[in-house]
């Protein structure tokens, strides 16, 4: 039961670091150069992690199992990274940009979950949606 929260804790801690590091990116660094450095580091960490967590697995064979989703995920990640970097450089606050984007993504994923993945929606979820929409209205007022 406790282990089920470990992945979410990893997401939370990584997201926290992500936004702090994005906001700390030097303003004179070309955004695309920043992404190149970021992904070079991510590649190195991923390769090391592969051999730590799957030491008896063949990397080349494992890569052969990737499909279109991995490639499109790469495009989506670049969009997220570049979007936040440019948002912070254009003056968005670290709290508003992440809050607005995460709430909007959550709201957009609800109908996608219902239609594509046949997920169920509860009264609690509906109440959460109403609170999210209310929060969006409140933070958008200056």
User: Cα(13)–Cα(120) distance, rounded to whole angstroms?
Assistant: 28
Token code pair at residue 46: 């991923």
pLDDT of residue 109: 95
Residues 6+ apart with CB under 8 A from 7: none
Residues 6+ apart with CB under 8 A from 94: 19, 20, 23, 88
**Mean model confidence pLDDT for the chain:** 94
pLDDT of residue 55: 87
Asked if 88 and 97 touch (Cβ cutoff 8 Å), the reply is yes
Token code pair at residue 129: 């949606």
pLDDT of residue 142: 65
Is residue 1 over pLDDT 70?
no
pLDDT in tens, 21-60: 999 999 999 999 999 999 999 999 999 999 999 989 999 9
Is residue 2 over pLDDT 80?
no
Higher pLDDT, 139 or 75: 75
Asked if 103 and 131 touch (Cβ cutoff 8 Å), the reply is no
pLDDT of residue 95: 87
**Within 13 Å and on the Cβ side, how many CA atoms surround 96?**
12
Instruction: Tell me what percent of the residues of the chain surpass a pLDDT of 90.
Output: 87
Instruction: Tell me what percent of the residues of the chain surpass a pLDDT of 70.
Output: 99
pLDDT of residue 139: 82
Total Cβ atoms within 10 A of residue 48: 10
b/e map 103-142, b = 16+ CB within 10 Å: beeeeeebeeeeeeeeeeeeeeeeeeeeebeeeeeeeeee
pLDDT of residue 3: 83
Given the structure tokens 């992904």, which residue do they identify? 39
Is residue 103 over pLDDT 70?
yes
């Amino acid at each position: 039961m406790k282990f089920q929260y470990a992945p979410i804790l990893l997401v939370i801690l990584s997201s926290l670091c992500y936004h702090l590091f994005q906001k700390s990116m030097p303003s004179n660094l070309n955004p695309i150069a920043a992404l190149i450095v970021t992904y070079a580091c991510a590649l190195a960490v991923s390769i090391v992690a592969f051999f730590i967590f799957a030491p008896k697995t063949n990397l080349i064979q494992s890569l052969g199992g990737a499909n279109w989703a991995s490639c499109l995920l790469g495009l989506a990640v670049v969009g997220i990274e570049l979007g936040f970097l440019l948002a912070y450089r254009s003056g968005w606050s670290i709290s508003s940009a992440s809050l607005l984007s995460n709430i909007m993504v959550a709201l957009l994923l609800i109908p996608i979950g219902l239609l594509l993945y046949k997920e169920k929606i509860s009264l609690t979820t509906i109440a959460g949606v109403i609170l999210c929409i209310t929060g969006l209205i409140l933070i958008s007022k200056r």
